[in-house]
């Protein structure tokens, strides 16, 4: 069976929309929601929704001081009673077959350390069915993973399952792997950027396969629907924390990744590339000043 872990903070209004998609997953008998010192009515929301799903054990944990998303995930997997852990998000929906597909992937290939489906960013007021039809197998001719900004290109076109150094935050893994490699609590301030990537890259460097499959999807709510938290701070704060944590992330892993991925430049150059990408992504792309073909080139 699977335990689902969802960190949250002052997101009662999004939990009301997405939680049913978690409770309706197959093979799930435990959902652990960690409230990171929030002050809204999230507990009431969770308990109300949980009443409709008696077969699933719901555990609601409230941090008395903020520990960030990484700290919330640590609390969650330490509490989980199952070996299989599916990490969720308080502003993302799961397709009905999400846990079922990911479990089958891990069952049939024991070398897989963690696996995710495709992540689709919803447009404002777009239905899940419409988003899936629009997205198909991706919308841009990019490589699925870019060493330029050291991240996944979630809109990249590909059809088969692929292996990557890391994927997004909604993935299935094993508690034993989490206990062995651990989430790093350093990512506790600001937006916690790279907190899930840190664990995933560590797993990748320990020879675990990281897989993204096209056989199932998850859906991130549109920016208009999520007005606070995470990447919803102003652009200057986003740039600061994204650079702050990427510098730390590179200090831990870049030299090993450079060798394993045959990256042709050093860590300082990589940080400069990442800074350029952030300037583009946070300021230029939102106002459409660069053509689509150049965006594809920058993110390859």
| Residue that the structure tokens 């997405």 belong to | 18
Alpha-carbon torsion (224, 19, 136, 242), positive or negative: positive
What are 8-47's pLDDT values in tens digits?
999 999 999 999 999 999 999 999 999 999 999 999 999 9
What are 137-189's pLDDT values in tens digits?
999 999 999 998 999 999 999 999 999 999 999 999 999 999 999 999 999 99
Mean pLDDT of the chain: 92
Superfamily of domain 2-298: Spore Coat Polysaccharide Biosynthesis Protein SpsA; Chain A (3.90.550.10)
Q: In whole angstroms, give the CA distance from residue 16 to residue 90.
A: 9
Cβ-contact 111, 209 below 8 angstroms: yes
Q: In whole angstroms, give the CA distance from residue 13 to residue 67.
A: 21
pLDDT score, position 285: 61
N-to-C CA span, the chain: 38
pLDDT score, position 286: 54
> Which structure tokens are listed for 98?
């999400």
What are 229-245's pLDDT values in tens digits?
544 557 888 999 999 99
> Which structure tokens are listed for 63?
């941090």
């Amino acid at each position: 069976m699977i335990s689902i872990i969802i960190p949250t903070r002052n997101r009662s209004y999004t939990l009301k929309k997405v939680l049913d998609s978690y409770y309706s997953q197959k093979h799930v008998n435990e959902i652990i929601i960690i409230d990171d010192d929030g002050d809204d009515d999230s507990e009431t929301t969770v308990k109300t929704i949980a009443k409709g799903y008696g077969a699933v054990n719901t555990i609601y944990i409230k941090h008395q001081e903020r520990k960030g998303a990484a700290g919330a995930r640590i609390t969650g997997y330490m509490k989980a009673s199952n070996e299989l852990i599916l990490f969720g998000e308080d502003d993302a929906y799961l397709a009905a077959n999400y846990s079922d597909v990911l479990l089958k992937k891990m069952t049939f290939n024991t070398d897989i350390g963690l696996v995710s489906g495709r992540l689709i960013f919803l447009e404002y007021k777009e239905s899940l069915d419409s988003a899936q039809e629009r997205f198909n197998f991706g919308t841009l001719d990019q490589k699925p993973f870019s060493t330029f900004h050291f991240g996944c290109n979630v809109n990249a076109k590909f059809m088969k399952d692929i292996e990557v150094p890391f994927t997004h935050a909604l993935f299935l893994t094993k508690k034993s792997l989490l206990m062995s490699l651990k989430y790093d609590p350093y990512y506790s301030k600001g937006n916690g950027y790279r907190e899930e990537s840190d664990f995933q890259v560590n797993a990748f460097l320990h020879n675990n396969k990281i897989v993204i499959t096209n056989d199932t999807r998850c859906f991130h709510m549109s920016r208009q629907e999520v007005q606070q938290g995470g990447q919803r701070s102003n652009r200057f704060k986003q740039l600061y924390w994204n650079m702050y944590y990427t510098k730390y992330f590179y200090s831990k892993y870049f030299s090993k990744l450079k060798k394993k991925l045959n990256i042709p430049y050093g860590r300082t150059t990589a940080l400069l590339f990442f800074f350029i990408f952030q300037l583009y992504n946070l300021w230029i792309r939102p106002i459409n000043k660069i053509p689509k073909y150049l965006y594809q080139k920058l993110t390859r």
